[in-house]
Chains A and B, each alone.
Chain A
Amino acid sequence: MKLLEQIWVVIIMNLRSIPQRMGMSLATIFAVAAVVGVLLFFLAMGNGFKDTLEGAGSENIAVVTRVGSQSEINSVLSREQINLMSNAPGVARNNEGTPIYSGELYVIVDGYKKTNGSKVNIPMRGLSTDGFSLRDNVAITEGRVFTPGRNELIVGESVLKQFSGFELGKKITFGKTTWEVVGVFSTGGSAFDSELWADTRTVQDQFRRGNSFQTMRIQLETPGDVQSLVDYAEADPRLNIKIETEADYFSAQGDALNNIVYFGWGISIIMGMGALAGALNTMYTSVAARAGEIATLRAIGFSNISAFFGTVAEAIILALIGGAAGIAIIYLMVDGTSTATIGSSFTQVVFSFTLSSELLQQGFWLALSIGMIGGFFPAFRAARMPVVTAFE
């Protein structure tokens, strides 16, 4: 008999006998499912964060903040600084020659979660009409844009989904001032969808911010090139500011949240070792249970290589079934659901759990590794099973 044929026969035989060792085999499947499930859970979370924050950043836009502030909330810019910067070389201009920029004010207001009613920080951004053109894919999905000078605001889609009280037409009171929701906007799932937007001047007045801003967004003449702006700012002592592309700004904001992914890998590897111990136990038991069988095959001329591969294949198949179960559970339960957490601007960032095919592959490889290692050592024992065992 050819070797491949022998291996095939042994594999089929092993698989057929799995029901006799149902308990242990199920335990391995469970273990691998749990490990793969936990890993994918964390990866999907990290992936969701990344989509939300990276989707928000553009190379065409420069973000200006005060030196030393790590996020918008800590930044302060004066009207004078904004005016100075708008004349910097490298700022794109429209057909009339007016520079395209938006001075923005970022205040934090209270919102309430739909799920448990707990109070959370929601960012409210004051921006000019140019602020809309400085963001990709802004679309008003319901209602209309706020009217400058009036206490009107529009809400991001994610805010509407996660927090209560921001439905179209609702009146909301922040301190003494009342605002009316006149529209809903979407930026295609980016971090901006977690915000409320209103007119800059109105926000300045109603929140007593005088003529101060927190950030400035500038349309760049050359995408990605902020150098001329930086040089300009450095030459003027009044401009104590930091300039970076929006893409860089958001990727820095996402850094802290990336730790979730590291944590996920860490815990999955530790748990994976636990699962591996379980898989090894299962496979050693399987080899022990089939000792007579394996020895008999050897006695009638099957090679020890076929015994080896038969055992490895059994382990791999059990692990892959477990992995598939883990993937399916996470896919059905978690993919697409959204949640919110606090981001580096001290406000809620709403994001979705998103599984990508790349993540599914990582889950698959993890399951496969557990199966291979879990089968390898017991397979050695099977391959070295003395023929005499058959006659005991």
Chain B
Amino acid sequence: MGDVYLIFKNITRKKLRLILTLFATFIAFMIYGVMTSFQSALDAGVELSADDRLVVVNKINFTQSLPISYVNRIQNIDGIVGISHQNWFGGYYQEPQNAMPIFAVQQETFFDVYDELVMPEEQKEAWLKNRQGLLVGEKAAQNFGWKVGDRIPISSNIFSKKSGGSTWDFDVVAIYSAVDPQIDTSGVYFHFKYFDEARTFGQNTIGLIGVRTADPSLNEQVIAAIDDQFANSPFETETVPEKAFTKAFIEQIGNIGLIITFVVLAAFFIILVIVGNSMALAIRERTNEIAVMKTLGFQSGRIFRMVLGESLITALIGGGLGLFMATVLITAVSEALPQFPTLIIDGPIILEAIAIMLGLGLVTGIIPAVSALRLNIVTALSR
């Protein structure tokens, strides 16, 4: 146990240097935590997409519409177990900045295709029955402060009502959560019928058809069956697995997400180089002392472990604090900025960070530790 005490004494010998080193490590891992959780949130949309779900959109581009009759023409294709259509509504609450992903969906069939949404059975019933009912994601409800029973107006930046105005009234009747915490629950859903009958233009057209296949292995076959059916028609379709659709959607943002991550992570490693340098220096400076310790009879192996322990502990403390701060920060960000995807520092990110901390500790400690191990007492003391 004396070793731990000695390590502690050694680390805290130059308090200012220790604080500065810890601080730089702290900053580096804080940035790392925030950036990787951001990246993983972006990837989560793709990873969590269901493998047995397909998306049918207009071949020209997914912003163009399709005739509603296509739903009936597709549903009898072999291998399809669920089909439901929806339309992007372009909605916002009170102010245009409070935008949300809100869709007019075919409510009777919605859960046949999207079964990852979880809610109390009576709320589900209430939503299915209420024409103006709104099914709200947990996160959306939290963002806008809605609860079941509220009657709220939502404005659309695309659709206006025949009765005038582009503000639509809804009853919040159900709030859903998702089977996985990383699934985005900022989505809001309402009845397509209410939407289609009241809107001023675009009746009987839809934006997107969600299709659930009996098994992912049937995807290819179903895709071919759907797209062949509408080839050379005025509205050609393009059917893709949901995963590919989500990925393409994210890629629209461009390489920017990737570039930012790359730039920031490069900077992260540079900070680590600096930290490592000063940690290595801290030990090199003590060559004389290590020689004295050896003279006093400390075993070389013991000194090796102490030196390495010192750099490992420093890296773990600084990094651990940084990771903790990152968690605090992203929780705050997630709450303050509703438009952001849910950021989570999960197991894999923590493990990766710990691995980097250990790597940092080892790399910076190993050279001084080996030289301490090999240190010749006479040469060291005569310097």
A207 CA / B63 CA spacing, docked (Å): 12
Task: For chain A, residues 172 to 221, give those with C-beta under 8 angstroms from any C-beta of chain B.
Answer: 174-176, 207-208, 212
The number of chain A residues touching the other chain, given as a range, is: 35 or more
Given the interface pairs A38-B264, A108-B61, the reply to whether A24 lies near B236 with Cβ below 8 Å is no
Shortest Cβ gap from B66 to chain A (Å): 11
Task: Identify the stretch in B19-27, B143-151, B186-194 within 8 Å (CB) of chain A at 4 or more residues.
Answer: B19-27
In the complex, A278 Cα to B28 Cα: how many Å? 12
Bound CA–CA A285/B14 (angstroms): 11
* A residues in contact with B152, CB < 8 Å: none
Contacts A174-B60, A339-B256, A342-B254 known; A74 to B90 CB distance under 8 Å?
Answer: yes
| Measured CA separation A30–B253 after assembly (Å) | 31
Verify A277–B61 contact, CB threshold 8 A.
no
Q: How far, in whole Å, are A119 and B57 apart by their CA atoms in the complex? A: 14
Total count of chain B residues near the partner, CB < 8 A? 51
User: Is there an interface contact between A119 and B271, defined as CB atoms closer than 8 Å?
Assistant: no
Q: Cβ of B158 < 8 Å from any Cβ of A? A: yes
Do residues A28 and B256 form an inter-chain contact, with CB atoms below 8 A? no
Contact of A27 among B20, B156, B259, B274 (CB under 8 A): B274
> A24 near B281 (CB under 8 angstroms)?
yes
Q: Does B270 contact A (CB under 8 A)?
A: yes
Within 8 A of B (CB), among A294-339: 339
Q: Is the CB of B20 within 8 A of A280?
A: yes
Q: Are A74 and B157 in contact (CB under 8 A)?
A: yes
* Given known contacts A120-B252, A121-B252, A278-B275, A175 and B235 CB-to-CB distance under 8 angstroms: yes
Q: Which A residues are within 8 Å of any B CB, using their own CB? A: 23-24, 27-28, 30-31, 33-35, 37-38, 41, 45, 67-70, 73-74, 76, 107-110, 115-116, 118-121, 174-176, 207-208, 212, 267, 270-271, 273-275, 277-278, 280-282, 284-285, 339-342, 346, 348
Residues of B within 8 A of A (CB): 16-17, 20-21, 23-24, 27-28, 30-31, 58-61, 63-64, 90, 96, 155-158, 160, 166, 201, 232-236, 248, 251-256, 259, 263-264, 266-267, 270-271, 273-275, 277-278, 280-281
Instruction: List 10 additional contacts besides A27-B277, A68-B156, A107-B61; criterion CB under 8 Å.
Output: A34-B266, A35-B267, A175-B59, A175-B234, A176-B233, A275-B271, A285-B278, A285-B281, A340-B254, A342-B254
> What are some 30 contacts across the A-B interface (CB < 8 A)?
A23-B281, A27-B277, A31-B270, A31-B274, A34-B271, A38-B263, A38-B267, A68-B155, A68-B157, A70-B96, A109-B61, A110-B60, A110-B61, A120-B251, A120-B254, A175-B58, A175-B234, A212-B201, A271-B31, A271-B271, A273-B23, A274-B27, A275-B24, A277-B23, A281-B274, A281-B278, A285-B278, A339-B255, A342-B253, A348-B252
